[in-house]
Amino acid sequence: EESLQMWDLNKRLEAYLARVKFLEEENEVLRAEIQNAKGSPAGDSWRAKYEEELRALRDALDHAFREKCTAELARDNLYEEVQQVKSRCQKEQAAREEAKKQLSLSRKELEEERRAQIWLKERAVQLEKEVEALLEVHEEEKAGLDQEIASFSQSLESFRCAPVAFQPVEVEDYSKRLSEIWKGAVETYKTEVSQLEGSLCQAKENLWKAVEDNQQSQLQLQHLEKDLAGLKARKEMLEESLARQWQEQRGEAEKFQLAMEALEQEKQTLRVQIAQVLEDRQQLMHLKMSLSLEVATYRTLLEAESTRLQMPAG
């Protein structure tokens, strides 16, 4: 029975030794692979490559963040420019309204000047008619006075001596006075006519000035409309550029986010793989320890058995 037990134990020991040898060889292979993975240039290159890619992605992320800051600054600058353009448009709109008001006032003044000019023309025609009427009346009065003087002179010739009350000197004085009065009236009318002509010239000058101011206002209004159209076009261009930059920045941010997610997934995968390798290694160590204990136990049994077999012989 002891021989059978020893034989069975030897068989089991042989099997365990073969298993231990196989596991030790596998362990050595795994240790060599781990050492090669740790110290080999391939492992270092893989780690360096991974770190280099991670560094490149971090640099790209920093670059994207800087571009984002730059884009935000550009957006703020564009917003300020748009606000300035809006304020300028409002100012130009106010100036345009003011120009329209001035144009309407100029038109009103022009209409008033035209009315004043028409009234002055009518007044001048009326005064000319009055002067003509006065000239006709004066001519008639002068003709009547001439006839009276002629008739009076004929009546004087019919008498030998003329009365003192009807001397020709008084008639001549009367005629002189009438002519002086007529001259004064004519001079007065001439003065009024010259004043009316001066007023008419002044009205014409004011009319020309109003027309020139109107033309200048029209030109200024046209320039303001051109500037407003240019500012509107620039505003649209800036808004399109801002929208395009926002779209590009959003697309780049989405790309970087996808790249970061892919790297995070790869990192999680590597962590899982490393944890699996460590767990396998731990299991191998436990198995090695249990096999070592079992081998030591069988060695002890074999030594005890050999000692027991050697004792009778001794």
193 domain-assigned: yes
Question: In angstroms, rounded to a whole number, what is the distance separating the alpha carbons of residues 100 and 155?
Answer: 80
Residue with tokens 């110290």: 39
Residue 105's Cα: distance from chain center in Å?
35
Sign for the CA dihedral angle at 9, 15, 21, 26 comes to negative
Residue with tokens 């021989």: 3
Question: In angstroms, rounded to a whole number, what is the distance separating the alpha carbons of residues 253 and 269?
Answer: 24
For residue 260, which amino acid is it?
M
* Residue 46's pLDDT band (cuts 50, 70, 90): low
What pLDDT digit, counting tens, does each position of 112-171 carry?
Answer: 878 877 887 787 788 778 778 877 877 787 777 777 767 766 665 554 444 444 444 455
- Asked whether the predicted pLDDT for residue 204 surpasses 80, the reply is no
270 domain-assigned: yes
Residue with tokens 């009236």: 185
| Predicted pLDDT of residue 95 | 83
Share of the chain above pLDDT 70, in %: 88
Q: How many domains does the chain have?
A: 1
163 domain-assigned: no
Q: Measuring CA to CA, how many Å separate 177 from each of 140, 183, 240, 291?
A: 16, 10, 93, 166
- For residue 165, the tally of other CB atoms under 10 A from its CB is 6
267 domain-assigned: yes
Task: Please state the rounded mean pLDDT for residues 98-104.
Answer: 83
Question: In angstroms, rounded to a whole number, what is the distance separating the alpha carbons of residues 177 and 145?
Answer: 13
237 domain-assigned: yes
166 domain-assigned: no
165 domain-assigned: no
Secondary structure letter of residue 162 according to DSSP = -
Task: For residue 288, give the H/E element and its range.
Answer: helix 168-313
| Predicted pLDDT of residue 160 | 45
- State pTM to two decimals: 0.34
| Predicted pLDDT of residue 65 | 83
Question: In angstroms, rounded to a whole number, what is the distance separating the alpha carbons of residues 219 and 166?
Answer: 78
Q: Measuring CA to CA, how many Å separate 301 from each of 4, 43, 104, 294?
A: 15, 45, 127, 10
- Asked whether the predicted pLDDT for residue 43 surpasses 70, the reply is no
CA atoms within 13 A on the CB side of 81: 16
| Predicted pLDDT of residue 45 | 66
| Predicted pLDDT of residue 44 | 59
Q: Under a CB-based contact definition with an 8 Å cutoff, are residues 13 and 298 in contact?
A: yes
- Asked whether the predicted pLDDT for residue 41 surpasses 70, the reply is no
43: which 2 tokens? Answer: 């492992």
| Predicted pLDDT of residue 217 | 78
Question: In angstroms, rounded to a whole number, what is the distance separating the alpha carbons of residues 254 and 249?
Answer: 9
170 domain-assigned: no
For residue 23, which amino acid is it?
L
| Predicted pLDDT of residue 159 | 47
| 11/185: higher pLDDT | 11
Which structural domain range is residue 227 located in?
A: 1-38+46-157+176-309
